[in-house]
Amino acid sequence: MIKLIALYKQPKDKEAFDEHYFNVHGPITEKIPGLQRMEVTKIVGTPMGKESDYYILCEMYYENHEALQNGMRSAEGKASGKDLMGFAGDLVTLMIGEEV
């Protein structure tokens, strides 16, 4: 399996971030063709008991690289990317990963 990973830094306004992330961005992203599973993890701290620099880790699973590329190039994928850059372009780090 291949996954697109989105790691978000702590937003200044968590309430506004959550509102947009869960009610707008999530529903747009879920419609991307080829997306098999989306796993959202809220970062709640570090093992040292400190607050993390990061807020959310989202993992979007696709069957293979081609499916991921096709998904990102689709109308839904472009809408999700545009929305992402609008509300969290300065907070997000995107990575493509292969499960070992």
Structure tokens belonging to residue 80 = 């999700």
Q: CB of residue 81 vs its own copies: minimum separation in angstroms?
A: 8
C-beta of 15: minimal distance to its own copies in Å? 16
Q: Which is nearer to its own copies, 36 or 52 (CB)?
A: 52
Nearest distance, CB of residue 13 and its own copies, angstroms: 19
Binding of residue 97 to its own copies (CB under 8 A): yes
Q: Which residues contact 56 (CB under 8 A, 6 or more apart)?
A: 6, 7, 8, 21, 40, 41, 42, 43
Which residues from 21-60 bind its own copies, rule CB under 8 A? 39-48, 52-54, 57
Nearer to its own copies, 16 or 94 (CB): 94
CB 89 within 8 A of CB 3: no
Is residue 63 classed as helix, strand or coil in its secondary structure? coil
